[in-house]
Amino acid sequence: MANKFSFENLVKAINSPERLTRLSLQEWEPLLFVLKTSRLEAYLAFVLRDSEVWDSIPEQVRAHLSAAMVYAQRQNDQVFHEGQEIHDLLIAQGVTPVFLKGAAYIVAATNNAQGRLCSDIDLLVKEGDLATSETTLLNNFWYHKTITDYDDKYYREYAHEIPPLYHLTRGTVLDLHHNLFLPVSGKAPPLEQFWQGVQLQECGLYTLEPAAMFMHSIIHLMLNEEVVYGFRDMVDLKCLAQQYDSDAFWQRVEQLAAKSHFETEVKVVMTLLNTWFDTAYPVKPPQGRLKRSGLRLLVRIYKYALIPEHPALHSVRSGLARFVVFVRGHSMKMPPKVLLKHLSIKLWLGVYNWLRGDSTADAKPVDLGAAFKR
């Protein structure tokens, strides 16, 4: 069959981009669609553009890749622009703003920075600086959209971030964090270790140190109930691991994992990295048979859950795995009593929207801000 596409094709494209020259246009088509949905098109585009095979790629395909690069480059520029402005505002108040996730990769120019899209800018400040930071931003063209009282309470009481801030004229979305995971869960990592390694990047903005960036990416991927861009996150982790691969780096990762009690999560991710991307990073098997089979099970679940959600890759197994991740993510985030209450409220809202026939009520913003939309 002409357009048969599988997850292996996607992994191969990431692992051996130089072999993509062998693809026919019919084979490129589903690959491009899946890359777009999983937000990896621009990443691969930059890899190909900087390689020797760029000229051997069909013109129609190159047009897509070029457009993806233009879009990503524009977001990249905007991250620097917004980043600098936010940095200056907060530094003036004696607050150290640390950029996280996508914005951090771009600011630190890590190997995955080129072509990395981000739907918002994530920022970490010390908990004691949270009120000052919020006030400063609110006084400088950032604002909160009206959200339900319940959502506001959720953010303020349970979460590790305040409700999103939006830039009044540019529409950029800013998530202001005071922790890397929800305090209500009882699993939020002790942050002294993470703050210790904070680095000033060449561009003058702060990020976590590489091992902490790696660790935070794992926390974000493995403890969330949604893994919509999970495979992209794995490519982020692959790039970071490849770039910083050294004994010192892995020791630091292990240390951070131990301090924050996320050793299992790190092991799952590293096993998957080795499985997909043909690497041999050190994964110490856990003590005890029960723990070992527990790890195997998690690896198996995530192996399917992280396959991008696209009709071309649809499978019952992935659907089931994502459901398990959904349940696990919620149970990690909140103690059972809080969770039950949270889910009942969300379920009611979901049923309400379904009955109303509003299938777009859950539509998520697809890009950095209104500046990219009309």
Partner 1 sequence: MKPFFINMGLFQAKLNDYPSSISPALNQIYGDCQSKEMSDFTVRLAPGSIVRKYLRPQIVFESNTQIPFKPLPFSQAYALLEWGLNWCLATHDFNHLLLHSAVLVKNNKAVLFPALPGSGKSTLSCWLAINGWKLYSDEMAVINTDSLTAEPLYRPACIKNRSIELVRAWQPEATITRVCSDTAKGDVAHAKFQTWADYSRLQPVEIAGIVFPKYDGSLSEEQFYTIAKSQVFEELCQHAFNYHVLGYQAFDTVWRLIDKVKVFEVHYSNLDFMDEFLLDEVVGHGE
Should residue 36 be labelled a site residue for partner 1 when binding is judged by CB under 8 A?
Answer: yes
Should residue 309 be labelled a site residue for partner 1 when binding is judged by CB under 8 A?
Answer: yes
Should residue 358 be labelled a site residue for partner 1 when binding is judged by CB under 8 A?
Answer: yes
Contact 77, 116 (CB under 8 A): no
One-letter amino acid of 363:
A
77, 157, 226, 245: which one contacts partner 1 (CB under 8 A)? 77
The token duo for 95 is: 């607050």
Residues binding partner 1: number (CB under 8 A): 34
274-303 burial, b at 16+ Cβ within 10 Å, e below that, comes to: eebbeeebebeeeeeeeeeeebeebbebbb
Pairing relation of β-strands 121-124 and 173-177?
A: parallel
Should residue 360 be labelled a site residue for partner 1 when binding is judged by CB under 8 A?
Answer: yes
Should residue 366 be labelled a site residue for partner 1 when binding is judged by CB under 8 A?
Answer: yes
Should residue 114 be labelled a site residue for partner 1 when binding is judged by CB under 8 A?
Answer: no
44, 61, 165, 332: which one contacts partner 1 (CB under 8 A)? 61
Q: Give, in order, the Cα–Cα distances in Å from 67 to each of 71, 80, 98, 102.
A: 6, 20, 31, 20
Contact 178, 130 (CB under 8 A): yes
Q: How far is the CB of 36 from partner 1 (least distance, A)?
A: 6
Pairing relation of β-strands 199-200 and 206-207?
A: antiparallel
Should residue 67 be labelled a site residue for partner 1 when binding is judged by CB under 8 A?
Answer: yes
Tokens 């991307």 appear where?
Answer: 277
Q: How far is the CB of 168 from partner 1 (least distance, A)?
A: 16
Contact 129, 97 (CB under 8 A): no
Nearer to partner 1, 66 or 344 (CB): 66
Should residue 28 be labelled a site residue for partner 1 when binding is judged by CB under 8 A?
Answer: yes
User: Residues interacting with partner 1, by CB under 8 A?
Assistant: 24-26, 28-29, 33, 36-37, 58, 60-61, 63-64, 66-68, 70-71, 74, 77, 309-311, 354-355, 357-360, 363, 366, 371-372, 374
